[in-house]
Chains A and B, each alone.
Chain A
Amino acid sequence: AAGVIQSPRHLIKEKRETATLKCYPIPRHDTVYWYQQGPGQDPQFLISFYEKMQSDKGSIPDRFSAQQFSDYHSELNMSSLELGDSALYFCASSSDRDQPQHFGDGTRLSIL
């Protein structure tokens, strides 16, 4: 079965650069969630989208923005990168807000 696809799998950036992470949800899933997991920490919710509209917002820095496109894929844009942004970024999708979320393999972002 098709799963959530995230790209790139690994990304290395320097401080103050920008990064764009992409997420392709499972077909017919219209809800997308983004999570950040720092080293040795548990995943933290960043932001979610339902039917291409932002539906909820967590501890997402103002330097980050995200959107969901007409084909339901989502992109997380990160600017003015800081060392503390080094983390695993997971995307998850579901068929509705009260349905299980299915996670991608994540993007490992390293800031030098």
Chain B
Amino acid sequence: DAKTTQPTSMDCAEGRAANLPCNHSTISGNEYVYWYRQIHSQGPQYIIHGLKNNETNEMASLIITEDRKSSTLILPHATLRDTAVYYCIVTDSWGKLQFGAGTQVVVTP
């Protein structure tokens, strides 16, 4: 299974864009990149996912490099409620999520 590498932590000022990088250099052609976040022991929350193309929804944008070896999650206007651990996950064909260490994002006023 493909693995991901993310920064351990990141600070972001409220109202600014947060750009969260993720490396997944061993990703296979049919594997998706998913982003989830977990706010203090709540159930993980789905954010966005993509295969090859960039994606955008009401929460975030996902930029995937052409070689698919890395991606960036963009939170366009971070709020204090976006403070959470963000997980970049590459899923296998069975769909299970293999959570790595994630990035602790702290949004400050």
Contacts and interface: CB of A to CB of B under 8 A. Distances in A.
Interface residues of A, number: 28
B97 interface: yes
A33 B97 contact: yes
Contact of B97 (A43, A88, A98, A104): A43
A58 B102 contact: no
Contacts of A31: 95
Contacts, number: 62
A58 to B, nearest CB: 6
A111 to B, nearest CB: 17
A48 B94 contact: yes
Interface-central residue, A55, A92, A100, A103, by most chain B CB under 10 Å: A100
Interface string B65-109: 000000000000000000000010001011111111110000000
B8 to A, nearest CB: 12
Interface of A: 4, 31, 33, 35, 37, 42-45, 48, 55-56, 58, 88, 90, 92, 94, 96-106
A101 B95 contact: yes
Contact of A103 (B32, B45, B96, B101): B45
Interface of B: 32, 34, 38, 41-46, 49, 87, 91, 93-102
Given A55-B94, A56-B94, A88-B41, A101 B99 contact: no
Given A45-B97, A103-B44, A106-B43, 16 more contacts: A33-B95, A33-B97, A35-B99, A37-B41, A42-B99, A42-B101, A43-B99, A45-B98, A92-B44, A92-B97, A100-B46, A101-B95, A102-B46, A103-B46, A105-B43, A106-B41
